[in-house]
């Protein structure tokens, strides 16, 4: 079983739409969770950390469900510039290794 699993998409949504991604993880002892964004031919960059209480940054909301072992990312009022691949990242058994999901591709259409 993979450490982290994501729906690869692609998600094609119109501007202004709300879109949500989920990511499941296998290690119940994981403590750190992140969403990264990767643009085509670029390196990944941190979008936001995911806290137990959930967190919001502008149009982006991240949530953690420990009981079901998944994290989610909600994007409201999608912009063209949101088009990218979104990667969820979870730390591993020792706490020092981090594992990436396969990424979810999002394209926002005018």
Residues contributing to the site for another protein (CB under 8 A):
32, 34, 42-46, 49, 87, 89, 91, 94, 96-103
Shortest distance, position 68 Cβ to another protein, whole Å: 22
Query: Judged by CB, which is closer to another protein: 32, or 65?
Result: 32
Shortest distance, position 16 Cβ to another protein, whole Å: 28
Query: Judged by CB, which is closer to another protein: 72, or 100?
Result: 100
Which of 76, 81, 83, 85 is closest to 38 using CA atoms?
85
Shortest distance, position 103 Cβ to another protein, whole Å: 5
Is residue 35 within 8 Å of 54, Cβ to Cβ? Answer: no
Interacting residues of 69 by C-beta distance below 8 A, sequence separation 6+:
24, 25, 26, 28
Query: Judged by CB, which is closer to another protein: 18, or 51?
Result: 51
Q: Round to whole Å and give the CA distance between 103 and 85.
A: 6
């Amino acid at each position: 079983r993979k450490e982290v699993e994501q729906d690869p998409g692609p998600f094609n949504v119109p501007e202004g739409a709300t879109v949500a991604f989920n990511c499941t993880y296998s290690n119940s002892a994981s403590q750190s969770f992140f969403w990264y964004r990767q643009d085509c031919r670029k390196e990944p960059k941190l979008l936001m950390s995911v806290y137990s209480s959930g967190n919001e940054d502008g149009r982006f909301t991240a949530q953690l469900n420990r009981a079901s072992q998944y994290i989610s990312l909600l994007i409201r009022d999608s912009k063209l510039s949101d088009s990218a691949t979104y990667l969820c990242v979870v730390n591993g058994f020792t706490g020092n290794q981090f594992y990436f999901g396969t990424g979810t591709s999002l394209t926002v259409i005018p």
